[in-house]
Structure 1
Amino acid sequence: MSVSIVLPAYRVQGYLRECLDSILGQQVAGLEVIAVDDASPDHCGDILDEYAARDGRLKVLHLARNVGLGRARNAGLAQATGDYVWFVDSDDALAPGALPLVDEVLRDRRPEVLLVDFERSYPIGRSRRSGLRRRLAAAPGPNGADVLARPGLLRTIHTAWNKIVSRELLARLDLSFAPGWYEDVSWTYPLLLGARRILALEEVCYTYRQRRQGAITHTRDARHMDVFDHWDRAWDRIDAYGDRVDPVRPVVFEQMIRHCMQTVGNEQRLPGHLRRASFLRAADLFDRHLPAGGFTPPPGKDGLRYRLVAARAWHAYAALRTCYRVERRAERAAAAARTGWRRVFPPRRPQVGLLDRAYYRFQTMLPVRDDLAAYAAYWYRGVSCNPAAIHARAKAVAPHVHGVWVVRPQSVAGLPPGTPHVVEGSAAYYRLLARAKYLVNNVNFPDFVRKRKGQVHLQTHHGTPVKTMGLDEQHHPAGERHNFGSLLRRSDRWDFSVSANPFSTQVWERAYPCPYEVLETGYPRNDRLARAGAQERAAARAALGLGQQGTVALYLPTFRPEPMALPRFDPAAVTAALGPDSLLLVRGHYLAQDTFAPGDRVRDLSSYPVVEDLYLAADLLISDYSSGVFDFAVLDRPIVLYVPDWAEYRGLRGAVLDIVAHAPGPVARSFPELVELLGGGGWRDDPARRAAFRETFCAWEDGHAAERVVRRVFLGESVQAPRPSRIFTSS
């Protein structure tokens, strides 16, 4: 038995790799994957082509225009050659071992339809298994019969992705997907009623991702009204089966009313002005498709809902919905009282005094100042990174916007002369955050900051991610122990998210699944590096008091999570290997307490405020998993990765990028190996690897990233990535 997986893709770049890996990482004979790029405007098409180039089981169809999920599935089905077809959603994943298990069952039992169990995966917390086992237990009858012998199968979820279907059956039923939302409805019920052999498999084979952003079920849109059209289509197909299916019509009818009322009663789906019209559409369906023998409503709330639909009693239904909402709020309040408010709403950090909070609230009642921008970087450590580059460019491109920096009290002395600033915790600080139209930061602002109407939050980030970030951290032992609910609420404030490269775009979408606009501009802080030449190198060396001759190396390690520590590094041995005219600059991570003993040819510049000066002065970078690798690569100078603890780091902290596999230069896995590499001069020439790395991660760094950001955010202009990047290859 061979299986064809049909995989439509549209705006799922943050999840597509995980989906493809879950499928192609499993080995079964005769597997083919038909991926359909439904004219996705993100990087989905490039990702699919990348995977297809290295795995012959994957075929990619690129549609000329977006046709929607149903028609994209039809396009894939038309290319399928397998005995069975499995329609997989590209933001979901197959469970480990699912394909070999499914393949074995199909070969042994030859069903026309195989139902599989699934689990729901949530943005925060553990996955939860579906209720299929309970439903099957409540649906007695022989496993492998049709729904007339086992009508409870009609009460399972109506999606296409939990059903592996005989392609011969689809041809016999002439069954395909109709356009519009809820396309699974008019496909699933005719399928189940037309099949003669339906086998249910209780093992979990599928992971159904519950997305915060991008999922139809979380989208407020008039297209939810399509559900009524699809139920009419389903009944047209069912009626064509004749009297044979009469015994189970009441079950399908009950499913229809329940499903339609889930849509009618869901405030997250339908706009308010369509609520009454949707109720009446459900009532029309009730009248048209009521079984000939009548229908006995179930007991309880569901039964009352059915009776109100049957009576077309819209006003009574609306009143009932109001009562239900009040009841739910009361239940939540009671739960909060039982567990304690501090557990339901944990204290925010840092703590803000009542008077400060009151002053901030008062300021939020005053008008937002369109001419004011608040800048911050690294938890108020000073003027640096992407926000500093944006501020500098805004002075020229958007001079009507006055920029003010937020800094800690201990950082004031180190500010560049004349920097407009406020000190964290002062009245001016709360006033600035409450009234500035633009809030620019490379990390999140504190929890007490509320997004006002008219304010614009710009998240610049501060590096290309190697380690896990955001929601990905919850799955690794040394990931930061965020309150992930608070993290998402803070990230929900973002209006814009700056991306340095396509890889970062994909990671941010998954790690911070929030409703922001991605700015694929490159990193503003790297503009200086992109424009640099020999003159800038000489100026940087002069500013640091270095000579213009000799080899300058920069050691830039990232911090290690406990219980890890920096691997052995002997600066004197490094300079000895590099030669008598060499100099080593060492810069520890700002979150670490690592110290390096200075020497005649060793300078510890961990506290030096402008890291770009160090990049420009250096001929060679020695680093590990630091995002500085991606910045330094803009200069197209040699990079050596020193990674003796890569396996331990990856296991504890987690990684979204195998930096060793994608290294821009030589890799040393021990200190003796590093010394030998430096002494032998092997670090000097590896242009091919460096060029590939730059094409993938630095293609947008053309010296104009800050201006693109300023024009989009401050002036409202449209911007585009400067030029295509080489697609990131995950292998």
Structure 2
Amino acid sequence: MPRFSVIVPAFRVQAYLHACLDSVLAQSFKDYEIIVVDDCSPDACGPIADEYARRDHRVTALHLPRNIGLGPARNAGMGRAAGDYLIFLDGDDTLLPDALQTISDRIDTTGEPDVLMYDYARTYWTGRSVRNVLAAHLDESGPERFRLTDRPELLQLLMVVWNKAYRRAFVEAEGFTFPPGYYEDTPWTYPVLMAADSIAVLDAVCVSYRQRRRGNILSTTSEKHFDVFDQYDRVFAFIDSRPELALWRPVMFRRMLDHFSALFASRDRLPPHSRAAFFRRATASCRRYHAPGAPAPRRALLRHGLMHLGARRTYRALSEAQRLGGRLRKGAAALRRAVRGAALRAHYRIQVRLPLRTRDAVFTTRGGGYAGSPAAIEAKVRELAPGLRTAWICRPADAHTVPTGTRHLAPGTFAHRTALARSAYLVNEGPFDRGLVKRRGQILLQTHEGTPLRTVGTDLLDRPAAARGTDFDELLRQVDTWDFSLSANPHSTLVRERAYPSAYTTLEYGSPRNDVYHRTGPADVARLRETLGIPEGSTALLYAPVSRDYRRVQRPSLDLERLVRVLGPQFVILARAPRPAGPGGRGRAPHPRIIDVSAHRSVETLALASDALLTDYASLMFDYVNLDRPVVLHLDDIEAYEAARGTYFDITAFPPGVVARSQDELFDIFATDHWRGSRSAQLRTAFRARFCPYDDGYAAERVVRRVFLGETDGLPRPVPFSARRTPAALPAQDGAGAAVGG
């Protein structure tokens, strides 16, 4: 008896059925059977099912002699099912990797409930994927098993069959089957949840719900939508057959009216000639099952009341009025934005005609928060040039990161435009406002975001996948405003002077953002580790990959949970992965030794707190080697990455540490301790000598003395690589975390 019976009805889904079945067969959990029900599909669904059945004994192809519809086809699959739990998967949807393992684990930990509800993500034909907006209802806190009366908010979730696992013995004992019709899920899901003695939830995306551009039967214009009335008749008949379920009657009444209202309001569901008949049927159902008592929003109460009265014309007039009101509100908001934008532009044009404020300096970063080289320079300005007034541009949500002695400027405000127009110094690591007019006497310092390994600037002209619609004319206009371009090393200088061609002056002074690596003591590092939740005595591995330009949907290339198991209990992983465009979202709760630091603003803090870095193509590797701690590169897609984005040198020929070309090779590197061996130390030393000649803790001072104080002689000379360079040390501790350097 398998753990799961995965039932896949198939009708006119030949373009998607391979992906659906592959998503099941690729699961790490293997104790399942797949029952593909060919509902007499006129396309190749039947042959595809047969092909998979020949290839894998776990796949059964069931061919129906005639088309009977989605619900009865599922019934046919249930008749063949032998698994402990039933899982339904439509032929154009897919399971996410490890979904079955995650579901099985949750079933075990919750004591085999009658129903387990899990989450899904809508995947659009463009590749965009969005998690269910009501995912918070699947919060796993609280009792592991419960009845629907304990968490009635679960009824707000999408009432479909494929976001749940059902204990087969429970389904058979209750005699649940699917009726025919368009809305066959309705009289299945509501009765199942109401009758279940035990329900559990899983806060994880397990299903990718395909949103087809065309072909979804529930989005077609047809009188078949009248089927919704018959299905709610079945729901209320089920409630009436069980007196103990009478408390759900008002709730189902409200849910029914909401469903009717949504169908009637949709302009592409009902043929125009049938709308009056649909409203009459809705009124009849409303009167038949009238059961006041369930709470509803005020606007919904009005619609429900009009439907109960049969006031179709008034209902339609109200709907049109609400629709018109929404358009007017949107129009008014757009008008307000246009007026404000015009006022800001006029204000800026006035301000650029007023004298410069020679003592004012404005700083910002691409992310907005107080971080990076601009932050290091701003702090040094306040130290060495106290006569200057500094301001930082960031969103109000990031204002708390700005030091108290620095003025905060919110983007898009009049104060922001005034500062851009009249401040003598402008410092940024990315582009400023598109409307910026560079004035005579203004000094603009471009700090950049790190040492370039990946192709940048005009070098992206022949790489459209990476350029992603970059406006190169605007890019060059921005470059022409630079007075100074900060460079960390000769490599950066050569690359950027070609990729950003203009007449600026390059300051090859090092990266101010890296000064902190030479000015932080073990006690401060210990405090940072404690703040991040790193257990004392643990070895913290910072995982920081980059996004892939050649992928529309970002997918993890590394199984972190498997890695943390390989590393052992003395390790924790600080995961700073790029936010996926896919359904990851909140996802399932991470492993207790995986700490999600993706939202952490300061990568310097994370680097200081970690014992080693695991990355791929991130420029962070050039900064991290200043700490003289191990770096490991995981480059499993280097050919594809090189083709799409390109790099300025072969990182595998001159790496900052050991290189893994596959996940298994990476696991071996950690299992054998090569990640921090003598070879790793040799590679790191050579890499640091080439790319960190000026990163000695004094880069920000050199910048401030040259740009803000006008000094050209007597700048701090780079500290040589010797005992005089003292990178931040890890706190003394017992265990593996004490000796990871080389």
Q: Which structure: larger Rg?
A: 2
